[in-house]
Chain A
Amino acid sequence: MKEKLIDLVGITKSYGDNIVLDDLNLYIRENEFLTLLGPSGCGKTTTLRIIGGFETPDKGAVLSNGRDITKLPPNKRQLNTVFQKYALFPHMNIAENIAFGLKIKNKSKSYINDKIKYALKLVNLDGFEKRMPDSLSGGQQQRIAIARAIVNEPKVLLLDEPLGALDLKLRQDMQYELIRLKNELGITFIYVTHDQEEALTMSDTIVVMNQGYIQQIGSPESIYNEPENAFVADFIGDSNIIPSTMIRDELVNILGVQFACVDKGFGTNKPVDVVIRPEDVELVAPENGTLEGTVTHLIFKGVHYEMEVSAGGFEWLVHSTLMHPVGEKVGIRVDPFNIQIMNKPASEDEEAIGIDEQ
């Protein structure tokens, strides 16, 4: 177990009546790629700004290696930030931008020049020293912003939706670039995004947040495969979320039909939510399925077909490489292992799903 590099203890922050973070506890280990994921207004950016020192929490403490840094101004913290809209200094050329932090630290000229060369090579922009920021494309500016931060050799790099302004292709390239950088440099990344795909691709650990609360912390696989509640299931990928009843261990009643599953410990005859990923719904001949239904919609998505099947009074979302035309009668079957049981949300707050805010 690596040590806790950053530790947030009981952080609460509100603007006026608007509570943005409520008693948030979170730690980040050394050399981890941690992503704060959630819809806008979930408090992820505020969390990042508190770590960076741009906001002070109303309550709680920020610890770095056990030392309380809650009140430390940003310029005294050993971490650097890559801002959402790059925030390059518009009146300085690229070399001056990158050298900024090193000059403040009174590094020697030759050291600074070496670092600039090294950083530009690292982000694949050799020879850009004399260019001005506004002559660069968005992706290039973003890479300069990263270079400007990493030459200071921070322990932690904070990234606030750094790829948000880029187009899809560039975003994907940059994702690989970031993973490479992280592995090469061995520094801890704290990454904020509302893009679930981005989070799943890059992270070691994902923290799903909503309305100031942490909904789930875990590896990308566990977040995707074992969402703990309907919010997480709905926010990460497409899913069928069906209110059901747990009859007993390893048996669940979904839409009036009994399905075998692998989950235990939910009690008997207890209302639960069931999550089934669309790619886990198998369409078979009507007589071979657990449930019988009719295909109502069909869209070709490239890699797979997306279908909607009306069965048991529920519109099932199904992804399959096999095509079933609209109107065809089909049977639905689900592998017991692919049925994920979740407790019903305990509070109103958790139930409120804010995805539409985007």
Chain B
Amino acid sequence: MNNKKKYLSTPYVFWAVSFIIIPLCMIFYYGLTDKTGAFTLENIGAMLSPEHSKALLLSLGLSFLSTVICLLLAYPLAMILHGMNVNQHSFIVFIFILPMWMNFLLRTLAWQTLLEKTGVINSVLAFLHLPALNIINTPSAIVLGMVYNFLPFMVLPIYNVLGKIDINVINAARDLGANGIQTFFKIIFPLSLPGVISGITMVFVPALTTFVISNLLGGSKILLIGNVIEQEFTQASNWHLGSGLSIVLMVFIVINMILSSIFDKDGEGSML
């Protein structure tokens, strides 16, 4: 029976090869050739040019920052949600998935309205006699947009992995004399690492490669590496250069994936 079942995956294997594997090979083909089709490393080396390396460094910096902020915001949140003992796991997921039903571009754009000089946030701040926030069209606004868009990807894996920790393991630590803080650092945090790592991957990769958030909230002056690549494909039509830069980007993604597979062998930190 199992032998027969194996063939059931044929359509999917066919699909995966056609639409996952081959397309990736195409990127490598374009990235490693020039317009005449000759082999070259120029497209990859182009990342070292001042303009591209600046964009890459900025992307790395902003995505690192937003990943850290997401983690700092999400961990306590996941702990609180877990501690509320809501039996309805699906309800928690629902609350974080729900915003996705409002278009992501519109939601991100809405921050422009909220952040404007005379926008809602500054009105509230003025009312509280606090200094105004002028971050629109700055890297700070981009970080805010990243945190806003990707926070659920950090919360859900951590929340899920916390739910999987055997309550008796925590009880055992208390029983052996550990106080709340010791229990957290010696037991809960180490056991939640798969979720944390998975969350970091899910936030870092899209933040590193985004071109939409920087476009919408950073004005047109701030270029991230995603913007550069997007422009090579849609405006400059230099696919070879765009592919070459993508290959460099993928190096970071692969490092990230390897790290996450080391720490999360059993896929415990999944989002669903």
Contact = CB atoms under 8 A, between A and B. Distances in A.
Direct contact of A and B (CB under 8 A): yes
Interface in A30-88: 52-54, 73-75, 80-81, 83-85, 87-88
A81 B172 CA distance: 7
B92 interface: no
Interface stretch (A100-108, A279-287, A315-323): A100-108
Contacts of B172: 81, 83, 87-89, 145, 148
Given A85-B166, A87-B166, A80 B191 contact: no
B173 A100 contact: yes
B53 interface: no
Contacts of B178: 75, 100-101, 104
B171 A87 contact: yes
B195 to A, nearest CB: 13
Interface centre among A85, A104, A152 (most CB of B within 10 A): A104
A152 B176 CA distance: 8
A213 to B, nearest CB: 26
Interface string A122-154: 000000000000000000000001001100100
B11 interface: no
Secondary structure at the A interface, as helix, strand, loop or mixed, is loop
A101 B186 CA distance: 11
A75 B168 contact: no
B250 interface: no
Contacts of A148: 172, 176
A105 B171 contact: no
A90 interface: yes
A100 B168 contact: no
A115 B187 CA distance: 22
Contacts of B190: 91
A85 B169 CA distance: 9
B112 to A, nearest CB: 45
Nearest to B165: A90
A93 B166 CA distance: 17
A76 B174 CA distance: 9
Interface in B154-180: 166, 168-169, 171-179
Given A89-B187, A91-B190, A91-B191, A104 B176 contact: yes
B40 interface: no
DSSP class of B's interface residues: helix, strand, loop or mixed? helix
B177 A75 contact: yes
B176 A101 contact: yes
Contacts of A149: 175-176
B175 A81 contact: yes
Contacts of B176: 75, 80, 100-101, 104, 148-149, 152
Contacts of A90: 169, 191
Interface string B183-200: 000110011000000000
Contacts of A101: 176-178
B261 interface: no
Nearest to A99: B176
B169 A89 contact: yes
Contacts of A91: 190-191
Contacts of A54: 171, 174
Contact of B174 (A74, A105, A145, A152): A74
A74 B175 contact: yes
Contacts of B118: none
B18 interface: no
B156 to A, nearest CB: 22
19 contacts: A52-B175, A53-B175, A54-B174, A75-B178, A75-B179, A83-B172, A85-B166, A87-B169, A89-B173, A90-B191, A91-B191, A100-B176, A100-B178, A100-B186, A101-B178, A104-B176, A105-B177, A148-B172, A149-B175
Given A54-B171, A83-B172, 15 more contacts: A54-B174, A73-B179, A74-B174, A81-B171, A87-B166, A89-B172, A89-B173, A90-B169, A100-B173, A100-B186, A101-B178, A104-B177, A104-B178, A104-B182, A152-B176
